[in-house]
Chains A and B, each alone.
Chain A
């Protein structure tokens, strides 16, 4: 029997008003404390209102979401090793992992095709781009999402057996791991769909020099606490998606003694330090698997509407949700809005691509724009826009992160734990910072900007959650 003591009769009402202004004005005129909501209709779609009610009335909901998010927040991501994908993942020649939800060659966009062509060349499975393309078109390769193997890949996200990957483990539960490829830098790079000789040459150096040097340094040093680095990055102007400058330098600082003390030739070490220090995005490939490791811990809680992955394959945007297992909810990937490099323009851009939206899924990237005012111009905004973007994300997330804090918001924690129901009910879509790949295979990066998922990812997810909901 619920308690019958009620604030309704014991306290003067303090009222949240949602809807007609007349009713708000009536209360204001009486001097009552009133808190109006700037209401907008929920995301539109058949059955969405009904599904939203079923999900919000699911008696498991509050506890399920708390459980899922607490598991996410309990993860302590550590960089523990650097290894070839063939060894660590058992990846065999002819199989490639890629970003986003599952996709076949015939549906793949330019950058994904370009990256697969480059990976074929890199693995020696083809001698020319034409030969590689023909073999891929004939189904010579097996394509599987990184996400299905516990990892993530930026942009095209293509991983082949000879590539090296960062290996992360959870200090709290060492059985759990995640991984990500090593970052190649900017411009003409495989992940943006470029596959020219300089691209393949760089990949060879990364496998023969960068990977082993980093492996030995990491093993010598012992696990590196990536959560602490992420927390500090937010105090140093990084948002861990489009800006990773501070994170990269902190990583280098942590590894330097062991790099220098190791057995590798001085010229290799100098080249490694030049490469890592000159690549402001190097840490992105650690931020991503760190958040992947955290979010995977939140999977498979029945009744939870927590988003555990957002990823794009260049054709489709897909999300996965804690309460609905491994099901992807997809819609057509959108075109980012932002700035273009050199003479590139909007016609040169490919739709949104990459697993890097895992950063936003975990409350970084576009969600903490307020912490990274230095990049708002890159993505076409101003400082006020950055503040507003972050404030909006609190409307669709379930909690403030206890460690990742934003000084500009009086150290409020980052908006963490995207809730499908909140996205649907407010109509606010997650804000994603992203790079833009060229539409034509082989082009590389053409710009950077902002993008949101298509609304149908969330309307499809709410319907699935609604069908799985328990009756109130």
Chain B
């Protein structure tokens, strides 16, 4: 232990290589994974939108550093030059800790990036794992500035047609504890997003897919959007690729 402190990272590398020499898990191996779960083009009324959802983690069996990013970007805006390219993005950084055989809990921070509107920072606590019947579930409670709160529920399922052809239904819902009038977000259920993606795993790591995505806003949020002249419901055809390494 002393050596590790004195010599820093090279010593840690040395410790890890000793582990391989010992053929036993005295120092369990740390592993990392980057999953680009969605990198897709959505054909919407406003034009072509690129959307992404990325997860990455690094760590051991019990503790992991977790990073997530998702967002949308307008690829081919109409002639209006003022149209911002990025519609919105969010990044999360969390410490993930194994809670039970199938569940991890997470403690972290989130930042929402918005082109015009103010960015929002949140603290988050989440539960992530595999529910019975193989539903992948992600639940997060975000607590932000000015008493803002956001509860987000996500679920996903993998339906295998063959060993390589997989249909993935997904559902996401957001609830807010308090109105955020600067961003046009109401109280209560704000939006639901549902997707259905059919992917073909060329290898496990490389899987192009096609699908449909549907988003709908509810309550005051929908009113805000309507008043601003926006659409509160949008369905789109998507095509993209899922990658991990």
The judgment on whether A and B are partners is no
Chain A residues close to B by CB (< 8 Å): none
